[in-house]
Amino acid sequence: MLFDFDDFKFKLDKSYNFVLNDVASLRTGRATVQILDSVVVEAYGSRMKIVEVASMQAPDPTTLIVTPWDRSLLSNIERAISTAELNLNPVVDGDIIRIKIAALTEDKRIEMVKILHKKIESGKVMFRNLRSDTKRDVENQKGNDGVSEDDIQLGVKELDDLLKQHMEKLDALFANKEKELLTI
């Protein structure tokens, strides 16, 4: 193989993981600790992710429990969850914070699918931009010693095959998450 697409594959995988984490934060009406991934807490004079200051668990499909490692951060964590624009209402219960996850209405589920579609589409745009940049690099090899037109065409075809594989992964991610969102 004339062209090395390891960097392209790495960037595609990194972009896919970004979209995967972004999609995981969508509420499905079930309690998952990923819902809290975007929460940032004021702790020890700096801003820290909630996972760095507390343990989280989902003991049942409708409840999240957050247990701070330092009890003095309890109110900061509660405030961070309340202001994170996740529509969650944390309740301090002794040394823990309980969060009840309300079931989503049909309208909210449809709205979430639309948001999911936008997230997946932005991932596809990232993929296409990566392909465009890498294709330009491949085509710039034209005229170099040992690089024929056929080599460039094969390189572009391999690039397109890699892109197609990752696009299919995004489509599968969309289908699975959509099913999860629409299941009551």
pLDDT in tens, 135-177: 998 888 887 887 888 888 888 999 999 999 999 999 999 999 9
Residue count of the chain, please give it: 184
State the Cα–Cα distance between residues 88 and 66, nearest whole angstrom: 13
User: Do 140 and 175 belong to one domain?
Assistant: yes
* Per-residue model confidence (pLDDT) at position 53: 92
Residue 1 has pLDDT above 50, yes or no: no
Top-confidence residue, 165 or 61:
165
If asked whether residues 140 and 120 sit together in one domain, one would say yes
> Which of 75, 100, 125 is the endpoint of a domain?
100
Instruction: Point out which residues pair with 66 in neighbouring strands.
Output: 56, 97
List of E strands, the chain: 40-43, 46-49, 54-60, 63-68, 90-93, 96-100
Q: Which domain holds residue 142?
A: 6-24+105-182
pLDDT in tens, 75-109: 999 999 988 877 788 999 889 999 988 777 888 88
Please give the share of the chain, as a percent, with pLDDT higher than 90.
Answer: 47
Residue 2 has pLDDT above 80, yes or no: no
H runs (alpha helix) in 32-105 = 74-82
Tell me the backbone φ, ψ of residue 58, rounded to 5 degrees: -120, 90
Give the pLDDT of residue 14: 95
CA 135/CA 3 separation, integer angstroms: 11
Q: Which of 38, 40, 56 is nearest to 48 (CA)?
A: 40
**What is the domain count for the chain?**
2
Burial letters 107-119, b for 16+ CB under 10 A, else e: eebeebbeebeeb
Q: Is residue 132 located within the same domain as residue 161? A: yes
Pairing of strands 96-100, 90-93: antiparallel
Of 84, 100, 116, which one is at a domain's C-terminal end? 100
Model's pTM, two decimal places?
0.69
**What separation, in Å, do the N-terminal and C-terminal C-alpha atoms of the chain show?**
49
CATH of the domain at 167: 1.10.132.20
28: pLDDT strictly greater than 90:
no
